[in-house]
A and B are shown apart, each in its own frame.
Chain A
Amino acid sequence: MNNIGINYHSILPEAITAGVALLIMLVDAFMRRIERRIAGAIALAGLTGAAAALYTLRNQDGVTSFNSMIIVDDFRLIFAGIFLIATFLTVLISLRWIEDEQLPTGEYFALLMFATTGMLLMASANDLVMIFLGLEITSISTYVLCGFRRSDTRSNESAVKYFILGSFSTAFLLYGIAFIYGATYHAAATPVATTNLQLIKERVAAGHLFSPEMLFAGAAMMLVGFGFKVASAPFHIWSPDVYEGAPTPVTAFLSTGSKAAAFASFARVFILTFTATSLTGALSDLHSVATNTLAVMAALTMTIGNLVAITQTNIKRMLAYSSIAHAGYVMVGMAAADWKAVAFYLLSYVVINLGAFGVIEVIARRGDKQTEIADYSGIGFRSLGLSATLSLFLLSLAGIPLTAGFMGKLLVFKSAWASGFHALVVIAVINSAISWYYYLKVVVVMFFSEPQAEFKAPRVARSLIAALLLAIIGTLYLGVLPGRVLRALDQATDQLKAARK
């Protein structure tokens, strides 16, 4: 090991997913046209390998490498695990779809794996520059994925909107990083500015700053940038259009995997760096300003997401607003500065939402034709398996006990209450009540309405059945027997604890 700390083991998961992405492209090039099963198998094997690599890192708590750019802590491992689950399920629900749509298989899976690489880097980053790098790798891959159905104008619109607004928000983030970098310069004590999160935290705690106002400004701009990425109000406007237009499996991936990744960085910066230490002097406000802003954003996000979701007639658009609402619940956990509740919430949301999108994809058919809620009229008893599965996921999103959705909400609400955000919890429960209405609307249409048009039960591919079964098992497992996962989370460490060792 040399002085900048090159440690390939610590980036093994990222290396595997990136390598797999390249491998898929190579195989694609040499085979002229890659078979979807081969590409899918390579991707799934890569994800499993990355998971195994993560597992080997579990005992290296607090180890930093690459000049402290990369950190190994439980925070990273847990979030990385969530991303891998998200991509795994996305691959499964895309396997059949990609052939039906006659889209280029190799590129699709390669882009998916690149996006995953970026997400993994976002969780392992211990430096603002590294976060930016991961974010860009993810974003650029997903811009392309959104416009993947090239002949479809909706898909194109989705990609362009996502690209323009995404770049705009990235600029905010970068600007914020620059401000923070500048703020950490202190002529006497620390004459070298830094983007390293641990150093930033130390300097903030010690008050060794060029100017506290500059740090505030930087933090505010980063908040805007992250706010865009997680689609929280008032920066959520892009997401419904993008989600509606993007191909369904891509929407599923965007609303779960890449959103979870944005939350991982968000939590790393805001929970573990800015609000983690007790501050004094001019900075004593930072903690309360940050958490209160997050709380207000959470309340706004939930309320707007849920209220607008009620009026939607397109199921993808409805789930886009529902996704905004769920970002709001996660923000409640952010305000409470409890990343463990955030992680559990995201894990359950990833599993449930990918399951729901899996069903929607089958019912939508080729070219996303049937995505209006009216298209679901009376399919309940004609395709009982699919409808019952979708109902389970929707009820779980609404937060019915015995499913993952309820446990996630309970944890988030509990830690928000313990942090004194009582009004926020009440707003959140009222929002949950509102959300029942639109989730149930789909169930009503499926089971209680008369069928409108000829509906033939679709054939469900085996890979999709596997994905749905995994999602069902995950939803019920996290809802009925969450003990094991919760214990693991409870004992998890983060950079703070790791540094203290």
Chain B
Amino acid sequence: MDNYLLTIITLLPVAGAVALVAVGRGEKPNANAMRWTALLTSLATFAVSLLLPLKFNSSAGLQFEQNLPWIDAFDLGVRYHVGVDGLSLWLVVLTTFLVPIALISSWNSINFRLREYLISMLALETGMIGVFVAMDMFLFYLFWEVMLVPMYFLIGVWGGERRIYAAVKFVIYTVVGSLLMLAAIIALYYLHGQATNNFTFDIATITESLKSHAFTLPLNEQRWLFWGFAIAFLIKVPLFPFHTWLPDAHVEAPTAGSVLLAGVLLKMGTYGLMRFNLPMFPDASRKYATFICALAVIGIIYGALVAMVQPDLKKLVAYSSVSHLGFVVLGIFSFTDQGLQGALYQMLNHGISTGALFMIVGFIYDRRHTRLISEFGGLANVMPVFSALFLVVTLSSIALPLLNGFVGEFLVLVGAFTSTTLPNAKLFTSLAATGMILSAVYMLWMYQRVVMGEVKNDKNRELTDIDFRERLALAPMIILIFVMGIYPALFLSRSDRAIADIRARVVPSAKVVAMTENFDNSK
């Protein structure tokens, strides 16, 4: 049963999508039947995925594995290999958690081509889960690319005014990166096959051969492979200066699309860095850490500054993502246990707080059909419950202690500050810390302009507070914001081993690092 668990989780949404082809057909299409089918499917997926953390063995590596041969001719050695470890466990759960919430939050906002919309959402869910559970590079690439199609349609069909531009830009950016990754995948597959005479795309096998030195990559080869993978991932993150697709895609996507885009899709980039770049190309990772961290810090500050001046709520949240993901990248390339843990935790946090922020923006957009900050003001008077929940999410996003964001950012900053591997670590950390201050500035200022004060715009007097459905969508996020802020061990304990493994690949121990560095200098 455990072997099939991941396959079930991955394919359940697609099964729901297939069912949706038939559900609610008739003279007058039954919209609610379709919505409930989609929601129940995603809830069932979530319920099944909860078995993963419950049954997870924190001291073991890859679990819930299923490994079947798929294409074996031409030395291809493609396998259907799925599994989760501490790195992917929570990301899978985050995905299955966010999809039903996104569906609830957009319950009434989609009236055009509802069936196709729901099918796209469920297909997207399968693609996202697939990326996190795939343990074969072929399978990983497959999910990575196939997932583009539903997202493309979500933005292009149900998006805002500039949706076509945004959809095409999103796809082209991603595809440029992913095709370079394909070249790197082929190269890695070939080099590994040549060295070990075992032609395979299996991620675990290749990582294992690298660890046991059955397969060694000189720095020169690592360099190319590192960038082949890294460009794909950094575009997805997105790291400054590859971030320009993100504000367009986020702003034009329908609310549920933005929630998943920010909540899950961006994490695929940072996940890829931790799954491929660090463990497979440790020397190149160390070599380019300064460069990437510099970009990350620029992204943190630049994203925050640009967010500050946005007149549009959704754009503000989008740019805040650029800033927040900069922290994640900084944590990853600090090569410390705390930094990597913080990065992983921050990925989950960002998924929840930014997902919630996009939902909140969606709620007021549904009411007023505008997202301009200047149109609002004094919402606390007419929408008290909304304003209270909005405050919690805002504070989570600026990392107030006791809320989830604090744990992640704190770990990242501690990790980065204490890093001995990353040159100029202290400088990077200090600059990144100013990003935290800036985030408080733009988030609180935004909150103040939207919620506080008197109601100035007469249109806002008539607004109704969020209803039961909207509260239902927001409540689990709020609960998690507190749980993750107060009891992070619940999550961190399960990822300890995976993080330590990754760190050990890059920085085996202080002594060894010193030796390799000397070796490098002598060249």
Which residues of A are in contact with B by a Cβ distance under 8 Å? Answer: 340, 381, 395, 400-402, 406, 410-411, 413-414, 417-418, 422, 425-426, 429-430, 432-433, 436-437, 440-441, 443-444, 447-449, 482-483, 486-487, 489-490
- Roughly how many angstroms separate A426 CA and B179 CA in the complex, as a whole number? 9
Contact with A along B143-169 (1 / 0, CB 8 A): 001101100110011000001100110
In the bound assembly, the distance between CA atoms of A56 and B92 in angstroms comes to 52
Given contacts A483-B72, A486-B71, contact A381 B145 (CB under 8 A): no
A486 near B175: Cβ-Cβ < 8 Å: no
Cβ 8 A contact of A440, one of B70, B168, B180 = B168
**Given A437-B172, A486-B74: A413 and B186 within 8 A (CB)?**
yes
Contact of A448 among B76, B142, B163, B189 (CB under 8 A): B163
- Docked-complex contact A448 and B164, CB < 8 angstroms: yes
Contact B182 A418 (CB under 8 A): no
Q: Is B183 in contact with chain A by the CB < 8 A criterion?
A: yes
Q: Report the number of A-B residue pairs with Cβ-Cβ less than 8 Å.
A: 89
Smallest CB–CB gap between B297 and chain A, Å?
29
Please measure, in the bound complex, the distance between the C-alpha atom of A216 and the C-alpha atom of B182, giving whole angstroms: 36
A484 CB to nearest B CB, Å: 9
Q: Is B113 an interface residue (CB 8 A)?
A: yes
Across-interface contacts of B142 in A (CB, < 8 A): 401-402, 406
Report which of B156, B176, B189 forms a contact with A447, defined as CB distance below 8 A.
B156
> Any chain A CB within 8 A of the CB of B482?
no
Cβ-based interface call for B73 (8 A): yes
| Contact A436 B175, beta carbon cutoff 8 Å | yes
Q: Is there an interface contact between A433 and B179, defined as CB atoms closer than 8 Å? A: yes
How many angstroms between the C-alpha atoms of A422 and B187 in the bound complex?
9
| Residues of chain B within 8 A of A441, CB atoms compared | 168
Q: How far is the CA of A449 from the CA of B163 in the complex (A)?
A: 10
Mark B166-207 against chain A: 1 for CB-CB distance below 8 A, else 0.
Answer: 011001100110011011001101100000000000000000
Q: What residues on B are CB-neighbors of A486 within 8 Å?
A: 71, 73-74, 76
Q: Which residues of B contact A430 (CB under 8 A)?
A: 176, 179-180
Q: How far is the CB of B21 from chain A (nearest CB, A)?
A: 11
Q: Are B71 and A483 in contact (CB under 8 A)?
A: yes
Asked if B215 is at the interface of the complex by the 8 Å CB criterion, the answer is no
The listed residue (B72, B152, B157, B183) touching A413 by CB distance below 8 A is B183
Contact B190 A400, beta carbon cutoff 8 Å: no
Residue of A nearest to B144 (CB): A401
Cα separation A489 to B72 with both chains bound (whole Å): 12
Interface size class of B (residues with CB under 8 A): 20 to 34
Residue from the list A410, A413, A449, A483 in contact with B73, Cβ < 8 A: A483
Judge whether B163 and A401 touch: CB under 8 Å.
no
Contact between chains at B73 and A487 (CB < 8 Å)? yes
Q: Give me the interface of B with A, judged by CB distance under 8 Å.
A: 70-74, 76, 113, 116, 141-142, 145-146, 148-149, 152-153, 156-157, 163-164, 167-168, 171-172, 175-176, 179-180, 182-183, 186-187, 189-190
Contacts of B152 in A (CB 8 A): 440, 443
Give the Cβ gap from B319 to chain A, nearest Cβ, in Å. 25
How many Å from the CB of A356 to the closest CB on chain B?
17
A418–B190 CB distance below 8 A: yes
Q: Which residues of A contact B183 (CB under 8 A)?
A: 413, 417, 425-426, 429
How far does the Cβ of B159 sit from chain A's closest Cβ, in whole Å?
A: 9
For the complex formed, measure the closest distance between the CB of A318 and the CB atoms of chain B, giving whole angstroms. 16
State which of A400, A410, A433, A447 has its C-beta within 8 Å of the C-beta of B172: A433
Q: Are the C-beta atoms of A448 and B187 separated by less than 8 Å? A: no
- Given A410-B186, A411-B74, 17 further pairs, Cβ under 8 A: A395-B149, A400-B146, A401-B145, A402-B142, A402-B146, A413-B186, A414-B189, A432-B175, A436-B171, A440-B152, A444-B168, A448-B157, A448-B167, A483-B70, A483-B71, A486-B71, A489-B74
Complex-state Cα separation, A413 to B157, whole angstroms = 34
Which residues of the partner chain B approach A422 to less than 8 Å between Cβ atoms? 187
- Knowing A402-B142, A448-B164 are in contact, say whether A440-B171 is a contact too (CB < 8 A): yes
Closest to A437 in B: B172
| Min CB–CB distance A311 → chain B (angstroms) | 15
Given contacts A436-B172, A486-B73, A489-B73, whether A447 and B187 have CB atoms under 8 Å apart is no
Closest-by-CB residue of A relative to B176 is: A433
Given that A444-B167, A447-B157 are known contacts, is A400 also in contact with B186, CB under 8 Å in the complex? no
15 A-B contacts (beta carbon < 8 Å): A400-B146, A414-B76, A426-B183, A429-B180, A429-B182, A430-B176, A430-B180, A432-B179, A433-B175, A437-B168, A437-B172, A444-B168, A448-B163, A482-B73, A486-B74
Tell me which residues across on chain B come within 8 A of A410, comparing CB atoms. 182, 186
CA gap between A426 and B43 in the complex, in Å? 42
- Nearest CB of A to B190, in Å: 5
Cα distance A132–B239 in the bound complex, in angstroms: 56
Determine the chain A residues whose CB is within 8 A of the CB of B167 once the complex forms: 444, 448
Q: How far is the CB of A388 from chain B (nearest CB, A)?
A: 10
